């Protein structure tokens, strides 16, 4: 008798746990591959999976097996020309030999083991061990989102929430307390009764016995009248509504688009912003991005414009910082939003503007922001802006960081350095 069963609707991902274990085990290799990938990728496909290769030797599951050498016999099919007693010169290179196939296995054919990880896993590895600096402000969004939390035990409530264990415990305590005196007395009377029964019976004693029996019966009736469960015993689980804080973040991307920034530099800057954006998205339920670009004057633009259109002109960095400040004041109340700023520039600025930038940043922006990072995409000596910002960093190390990026390969290391988990923060 056969049973034919349709199992197609059963779970498909029986191997997920095993797969995860495997990924955990080869974390180091995967991290390397991910690091490589970040430098290689264009902006659009940052959020894709990645092909990972691991050298076969690192994956080995060793077993005892024969090595080369000794005497061995192998039978193969498909003889064409050999006669018994023929001798064939061994292929040079040691290994070879009759066990042609086995030699292949044990030889140094160092195959690579390749597989795909999906986008989510890719980002997990990408941002592993990274964390956003500084405290996270959470905005209480009152009635719109809350969750129920256990709020202790109360003596009033609806039947559905009766806490049976606690109620029974209460009842047991009450019964014991109310009956304690009677039970003690009952024990004494019973003992006396018992004792009298053992002795010879006289009228006096008989009278006493009857008296005792009556008292015992009375006491027992009293004990029975104590209710097993009373209304006062009932205890109820209590739940309270706790508003769920919602964390929101806004990120200001500030990029210099002046004539001195060529396409390569902009590309570097964009990659950096993109990483930061992906990272913020993972950390906050709700992330907004404000794109600001500037040459001599700053302008808020759309993502499309920000990344893909071109402009030229001189450079006044402070214009962008001012615009940022205005937008914060106008749209993002500091007590409701987590604010992050990232600025990318080639460091070119009108010299008398730089000190202004530093003080604007330090006095107005940093106190409002969670963190501000500055990257300079320029493989050459620094200018006034860098020096000024360096001063800012010395005074506000926790809220400000800066780094230099020369080539696409630098972006990810710099990014990691900026956001690595800070132990002292824990």
Partner 1 sequence: MTVTESKLLSTGSDWDFETLDRYDRAIAGLAHGKYGLDTYPNQIEVISSEQMMDAYSSVGMPVGYNHWSFGKQFVEVEGRYRRGQMGLAYEIVINSNPCIAYLMEENTITMQALVIAHASYGHNSFFKGNYLFKTWTDASAIIDYLVFARHYIAECEQRHGVAAVEEILDSCHALMNYGVDRYKRPTPISAMEEKRRQREREEVLRQQVSELWKTFPDLRPATQRREPNFRYPAEPQENLLYFLEKNAPLLEPWQRELIRIVRKMAQYFYPQRQTKVMNEGWATFWHYTLLHDLYDNGQVSDGFMLEFLQNHSQVIYQPPFDSPYYSGINPYALGFAMFTDIRRICERPTDEDRLWFPDIAGSDWLATLKFAMESFKDESFIQQFLSPRLIREFKLFSLFDDNERDYIEIDAIHDERGYKIIRNKLSEQYNLSIQEPNIQVYDADVRGDRSLTLQHIRQHHRPLDEKSSREVLRHLYRLWGFEVHLESVDNGTVVERLSIPDL
Segment interacting with partner 1, rule: CB under 8 A, options 1-9, 220-228, 372-380, 393-401: 1-9
Distance in Å, CB of 1 to partner 1, minimum: 5
Q: What does the alpha-carbon distance between residue 295 and residue 312 come to, in Å, rounded to a whole number?
A: 7
Stretch of 3-11, 135-143, 156-164, 370-378 lying at the interface with partner 1 (CB under 8 A) = 3-11
Residue 115 φ/ψ, nearest 5 degrees? -155, 170
CB 368 within 8 A of CB 328: yes
Burial of 295 (0-12, 13-18, 19+ CB in 10 A): buried
CB 168, min distance to partner 1, A: 31
Q: Are 264 and 255 in contact (CB under 8 A)?
A: no
* CA gyration radius, the chain: 40
Distance CA 140, CA 146 (A): 10
Q: What is the 3-state secondary structure (H, E, C) of 152-215?
A: EEECCCCHHHECHHHHHHHHHHHHHHHHHHHHHHHHHHHHHHHHHHHCCCCHHHHHHHHHHHHH
Helix, coil or strand: residue 374? strand
Report d(CA 270, CA 264) in Å as an integer: 10
CA 258, CA 383: separation in Å to the nearest integer? 16
* Piece of the chain touching partner 1 by CB under 8 A; list 31-39, 86-94, 160-168, 202-210: 86-94
Query: Does position 76 bind partner 1 by CB under 8 A?
Result: yes
Question: How far apart are CB 120 and partner 1 at their closest, in Å?
Answer: 15
Minimum CB distance to partner 1, residue 354 (Å): 53
Q: Which of 27, 43, 79, 365 binds partner 1 (CB under 8 A)?
A: 79
Alpha carbon distance 310, 329 (integer Å)? 29
Toward partner 1, which CB reaches closer, 61 or 330?
A: 61
Q: Shortest gap between Cβ of 28 and partner 1 (angstroms)?
A: 14
Which residue reads 């690091």 in tokens?
35
- The dihedral sign for the CA sequence 374, 378, 381, 383: negative
Contact call for residue 10 and partner 1 (CB under 8 A): yes
Regarding 149 and contact with partner 1 (CB under 8 A), the answer is no
Q: Shortest approach of partner 1 to residue 99 CB, angstroms?
A: 7
Interacting stretch for partner 1, rule CB under 8 A, among 91-99, 127-135, 164-172, 308-316?
91-99
Beta carbon nearer to partner 1, 113 or 350: 113
Please report whether residue 86 would count as binding partner 1 according to CB under 8 A.
Answer: yes
Say whether residue 110 binds partner 1 (CB under 8 A). Answer: no
**Binding pattern to partner 1, positions 15-44, x when CB under 8 A?**
x-xxxxxxxxx-------------------
The angle formed by the CA atoms of residues 379, 385 and 386, to the nearest 5 degrees, is 55
Binding residues for partner 1, rule CB under 8 A, total: 62
Residues that bind partner 1 (CB under 8 A): 1-8, 10, 12-15, 17-25, 59-80, 82-90, 97-99, 101, 106, 113-116
């Amino acid at each position: 008798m056969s049973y034919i069963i349709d199992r197609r609707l059963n779970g498909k991902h029986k191997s997920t746990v095993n797969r995860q274990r495997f990924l955990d085990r080869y974390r180091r290799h995967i991290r390397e591959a991910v690091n490589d990938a970040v430098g290689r990728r264009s902006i659009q496909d940052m959020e894709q999976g990645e092909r990972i290769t691991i050298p076969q030797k690192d994956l080995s599951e060793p077993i005892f097996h024969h090595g080369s050498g000794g005497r061995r016999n192998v039978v193969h099919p498909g003889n064409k020309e050999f006669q018994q007693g023929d001798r064939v010169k061994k292929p040079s290179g040691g290994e070879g030999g009759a066990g042609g196939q086995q030699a292949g296995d044990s030889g140094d054919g160092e195959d690579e083991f390749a597989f795909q990880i999906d986008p989510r896993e890719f980002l997990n590895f990408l941002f592993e061990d990274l964390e956003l600096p500084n405290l996270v402000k959470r905005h209480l969004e009152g009635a719109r989102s809350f969750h129920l939390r256990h709020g202790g035990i109360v003596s009033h409530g609806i039947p559905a929430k009766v806490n049976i264990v606690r109620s029974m415990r209460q009842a047991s305590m009450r019964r014991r307390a109310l009956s304690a005196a009677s039970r003690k007395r009952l024990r004494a009377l019973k003992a006396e009764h018992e004792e009298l029964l053992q002795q010879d019976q006289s009228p006096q004693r008989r009278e006493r016995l009857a008296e005792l029996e009556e008292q015992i019966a009375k006491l027992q009736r009293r004990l029975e009248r104590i209710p097993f469960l009373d209304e006062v015993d009932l205890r109820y689980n209590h739940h309270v509504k706790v508003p769920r804080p919602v964390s929101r973040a806004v990120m200001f991307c500030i990029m210099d688009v002046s004539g001195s920034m060529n396409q390569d530099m902009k590309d570097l800057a964009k990659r950096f912003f993109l990483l930061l954006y992906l990272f913020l998205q993972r950390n906050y339920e709700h992330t907004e991005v404000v794109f600001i670009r500037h040459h001599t004057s700053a302008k808020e633009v759309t993502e499309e414009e920000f990344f893909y259109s071109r402009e030229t002109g001189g450079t006044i960095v402070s214009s962008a910082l001012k615009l940022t400040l205005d937008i914060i004041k106008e749209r993002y109340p500091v007590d409701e939003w987590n604010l992050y700023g990232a600025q990318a520039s080639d460091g070119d600025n009108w010299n008398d503007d730089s000190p202004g930038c530093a003080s604007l940043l330090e006095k107005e922006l940093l106190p409002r922001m969670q963190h501000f990072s500055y990257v300079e995409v320029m493989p050459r000596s620094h200018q006034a802006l860098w020096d000024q910002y360096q001063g800012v960093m010395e005074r506000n190390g926790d809220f400000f960081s800066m780094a230099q990026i020369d080539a696409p390969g630098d972006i990810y290391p710099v990014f990691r350095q900026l956001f690595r988990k800070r132990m002292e923060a824990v």
